[in-house]
Amino acid sequence: MQTATPLKGIRVLELGAYISGPYAGALLASLGADVVKVEAPSGDAFRRGVGTQSHYFVQANSGKQSISVDLKSPDGIAMIKALLPQFDVLIENSRPGVMDRLGLGADVVRARTGGGTVVKTSLLDAMSALTVDAMTQTFETGQSPHRESRHPTAQSFALTTRDGAAIAVHMSGLEKFWQGFVRAIDRPDLLEDPRFTTYPDRKRHYYDLRPIAEAEFAKRDQAEWRDRLRDADVPYAPVVTGLELTEHPQVQWLDLYEDAREDGLRVMRGPWRFDGARNPKATTAPAIGEHTRDYALRVLPEAEVDRLIAAGVLVQAQEA
């Protein structure tokens, strides 16, 4: 099945470091965009001094090209400005004000490219999206959430099984899930217990119910509980370790990871599928400045490129 490349032909210039900006660029690259990463002469700090041997760097930068430019040099900034019209998207995750101080703020970029829209997000924006449910509970109860404040409402449990594994159960407020749970653990007496008769009762007496569930789940292995909960139509999931995750049948069916590289790294693919197929993701990242000369020659004479490389303003890759 042919994989979708909806961003094929889109050119992205990335001035990003560490994770958020580079990972955004890597996702765009997996969708077909041509992504060029701008790095300092010493490289992205996430390389951690080992170049393309850094698992973390590869995970966030696979499938890109790299140009290495000293952005503290006026000549370096001038070259980036000259390159701007050749790109459709600019990604950066600098601290506020840095791009303006470099002379690469939004107004400058718009002037160079003839327009464009500034799209901004932040760590707080991202965390707010992840905590929307907890904050909704705060608005409902007037109390700040804590690690277990959502459990009674969600009727969720993380339960250790006889073999030392664990399984998560989430029943929410649906009566059919509660009845199925009671069947699965062979405790029909709980249906007659006034503490658990209705969802509001179970929510109020959650901390009475939890030790009962913990005691029952300690009687059987995880595999048996998976079968019993599935047959009873109770929402559940096995709790797996990082080492177990890539071998889990659902993760393999979803085709979430590339095959392991020789160094053991498995690059994670993008969180989407098109017509049932997940886009592959490159498993290699560029060396520092691997493509510097190629891009510099698009906007500068060869003699000027040679001069800037000799002066250390531009860096051409030293590793294969």
Distance CA 189, CA 107 (A): 69
Distance CA 117, CA 115 (A): 7
Distance CA 168, CA 244 (A): 16
Q: Is the pLDDT of residue 162 over 70?
A: yes
SS3 270: coil
pLDDT single digits (tens) 270-290 = 999 999 889 899 999 999 999
Answer for the pair 167, 228: CB distance below 8 angstroms, yes or no. Answer: no
| The predicted structure's pLDDT at residue 320 | 44
Q: What does the pLDDT average to over 178-190?
A: 98
Alpha helices in 16-114 (DSSP H): 20-30, 55-61, 74-83, 98-102, 106-113
Answer for the pair 167, 225: CB distance below 8 angstroms, yes or no. Answer: yes
| The predicted structure's pLDDT at residue 227 | 98
| The predicted structure's pLDDT at residue 2 | 62
Q: What is the pTM of this model?
A: 0.88
Query: What's the one-letter identity of residue 249?
Result: P
Neighbouring CB atoms inside 10 A of 263's CB total 8
**Percent of the chain whose pLDDT exceeds 70:** 98
SS3 292: helix
- How are beta strands 314-315 and 65-69 bridged, if at all? antiparallel
Which DSSP symbol is given to 276? T
Determine the length of the chain.
320
Q: What does the pLDDT average to over 221-242?
A: 97
Q: Is the pLDDT of residue 164 over 80?
A: yes
Which DSSP symbol is given to 259? P
Rounded to an integer, what is the distance from CA 219 to the centroid of its chain? Answer: 37
Name the average pLDDT for the chain: 95
| The predicted structure's pLDDT at residue 86 | 97
Q: Is the pLDDT of residue 71 over 60?
A: yes
Q: Which domains does the chain possess?
A: 11-119+261-315 (3.40.50.10540), 150-239 (3.30.1540.10)
Q: Is the pLDDT of residue 35 over 50?
A: yes
pLDDT single digits (tens) 38-59 = 999 999 999 999 999 999 999 9
pLDDT single digits (tens) 107-152 = 999 999 999 999 999 999 999 999 999 999 999 999 998 888 889 9
Q: What does the pLDDT average to over 179-202?
A: 97
Look-up: residue for tokens 């789940």? 217
What are the two backbone dihedrals, phi and then psi, of residue 214, each rounded to the nearest 5 degrees? -60, -40
For the record, the structure tokens of 278 come out as 């997940």
Distance from first CA to last CA of the chain, Å, rounded?
32
